[in-house]
Amino acid sequence: MTGHDFWRERRVFVTGATGIVGSWLVRELLGRNANVAVLVRDADPQSELLRSGDIQRCTVFNGTVEDLWTLERAISLHEAEYVFHLAAQTIVGVAHRNPFTTFETNVRGTYNLLEACRIHTSLVRGVIVASSDKAYGEVDALPYVETMPLRGRHPYEVSKSCTDLIATSYCHSYGVPVTIARCGNIYGGGDLNWSRIVPGTIRSLLRRERPSLRSDGTFRRDYIYVKDVARAYMLLGERACDPAVRGEAFNFSDESPLSVLDIVNAIRRLLGSDLEPDVRNVAQGEIRDQYLSAAKARETLNWRATYDLDTALRETIAWYRALLA
């Protein structure tokens, strides 16, 4: 059974539920009548999970992924069948300034979560782990494909390379039913990390200020809408027991890489702004070009991105207008 009926009354545990992906994933799960528990570290009232009221329909466990026994207790008490591990420190610049806390959250947090699932293998039927295109590191030829080695060098990349390898280890060594999702730059309403290019640019332009660019504006990236990502994660959950999916990693991308200036100019066009970006060119610890092939997801999962850039950005701009009003 897949699709809408699959999630009816399924018991699901989501870490990182107050983040951009977690908030929209929880909404999709609740819309399909899943029984959802969430791990909440900090209850930010601007998070879409709280703003929407969706948190009122969830079982809430307070704590952090750095604490194994918080995770074990949540999975045990909720009797979680499916676990989505989204909690992470996700900002490249923060990782460069604070590698220790990034490794604690992204690496320790991952093996704690997977250890809790190993303890409760009688309960857990699927674990979907959020990774990133950054796990691949810098390569000679793009796009990234899943057969490439994981060669992160800078702190954030290394934390994601480790996330992938640890997840694969728990699957192959202990039979934990893990699947890994690798996405590029995820955007959409609910992203409160203003240093990221999409929310930062929208906020600046709505305030009639010049948006600032850390890089020289020519870095190329995948930009994928959060609703497409939430659907991809749920599809991985539905297929978690499939031998073609279990223990595998999947890239998710619309396969239309854009430069930073491309995405900024698209937002400027939709907002009718003539404000030129402030190009600072001070980025540290960032790979110049990164984008993914989604061929494996198309062929194995029959997944494709469904939102075009303008439609997704219009929805995103509307969300920030409401927030900042």
User: Is 38 among the domain residues?
Assistant: yes
pLDDT digits (tens, 9 = 90+) for 71-102: 999 999 999 999 999 999 998 889 999 999 99
Residue 92, pLDDT score: 87
Q: Are 315 and 270 in contact (CB under 8 A)?
A: no
User: Alpha-carbon distance 60 to 192, whole Å?
Assistant: 21
Judged by DSSP in three states, 54 sits in helix
User: Alpha-carbon distance 50 to 56, whole Å?
Assistant: 8
Helix (H) or strand (E) holding 181: strand 178-183
Residue 3, pLDDT score: 63
User: Is 177 among the domain residues?
Assistant: yes
User: Is 157 among the domain residues?
Assistant: yes
Q: Label residue 323 exposed, middle or buried (CB < 10 Å: 0-12, 13-18, 19+).
A: middle
For residue 156, indicate whether it is catalytic.
Answer: yes
Residue 283, pLDDT score: 72
Residue 187, pLDDT score: 97
Q: Are 214 and 174 in contact (CB under 8 A)?
A: no
Q: Is a pLDDT exceeding 70 seen at residue 285?
A: no
CA-wise closest residue to 229 among 191, 201, 265, 270: 191
Q: Are 124 and 83 in contact (CB under 8 A)?
A: yes
Q: Are 185 and 221 in contact (CB under 8 A)?
A: yes
pLDDT digits (tens, 9 = 90+) for 190-240: 999 998 999 999 999 999 999 998 888 899 999 999 999 999 999 999 999
User: Is 272 among the domain residues?
Assistant: no
User: Is 312 among the domain residues?
Assistant: no
Residue 286, pLDDT score: 74
For the chain, how many structural domains are there in total? 1
Sign of CA dihedral 282, 287, 288, 290: negative
User: Is 296 among the domain residues?
Assistant: yes
- pTM for the structure as a whole: 0.95
User: Is 50 among the domain residues?
Assistant: yes
User: Alpha-carbon distance 198 to 187, whole Å?
Assistant: 7
CA-wise closest residue to 224 among 186, 188, 182: 186
User: Alpha-carbon distance 262 to 264, whole Å?
Assistant: 6
| Parent domain of 57 | 4-187+223-255+289-307
pLDDT digits (tens, 9 = 90+) for 28-71: 999 999 999 999 998 889 999 999 999 999 999 999 999 999 99
CATH classification at residue 90: 3.40.50.720
Structure token digits, residue 46: 């601007």
User: Is 320 among the domain residues?
Assistant: no
Q: What's the gap between Cα 244 and its chain centre? A: 22
Task: Kindly name the residue from 156, 187, 223, 233 that is annotated as catalytic.
Answer: 156
